[in-house]
Amino acid sequence: MRAAVLRYRVMAYITGVVLIVLCFAGIPLQVAGHPAVANDVGVVHGILYIIYLVTAWVLSRKLRLATGPTVILLLAGTIPVMTFVVERWVTRRFINPALAGTSPAAQTVSP
C-alpha cells in the first residue's frame, strides 16, 4: 500500500507541475508565436498523464474507492493545480485511514 501511495504522490506532483508549466508558460508563449515550448511540454504532459492515470487507478483499487472519488482522482491531472488539491483530499480522507487501519466512514468530517 505504501509503495502505491508513494508512486501516486510522485506522479500527482510531477503531472501537476508540468501542467502548470504548460498552461502558464507554454500556452502564452505559443500565443506569442513560440510554439515549441507548448508542443514539447504538451507531449511530456500527455505521457505523464497516462502514467498518472495508471498509478491513480491502482491506488483507487487498493483503497477500494467508490466511483465518485475514483473519477475525481483520475480527472485531477486535467485541471491546473487540481492534482495538489486532490492529493491532499485523498490523503486525509482515504490514505491516512487506510494506513492507520480504520475505515474512512468511521471518521468524522472536519469543517
Residuewise pLDDT in 10s, the chain (111 residues): 889 999 999 999 999 999 999 999 999 999 999 999 999 999 999 999 999 999 999 999 999 999 999 999 999 999 999 999 999 999 999 999 999 987 655 444 444
Q: Which are the contacts of 7, defined by CB distance < 8 A and separation ≥ 6?
A: 55, 58, 59
Q: Residue 106's pLDDT is what?
A: 47
CA distance 88 to 90: 6
Within-domain flag for 109: no
Q: Residue 1's pLDDT is what?
A: 87
Q: Which domain, by its residues, includes 68?
A: 2-102
Closest CA to 5 of 46, 62, 50, 68: 62
* The total number of structural domains that make up the chain: 1
Q: Residue 105's pLDDT is what?
A: 53
Closest CA to 8 of 79, 94, 103: 94
Question: Model's pTM, two decimal places?
Answer: 0.85
Within-domain flag for 24: yes
Within-domain flag for 111: no
Q: Residue 26's pLDDT is what?
A: 95
CA distance 41 to 88: 25
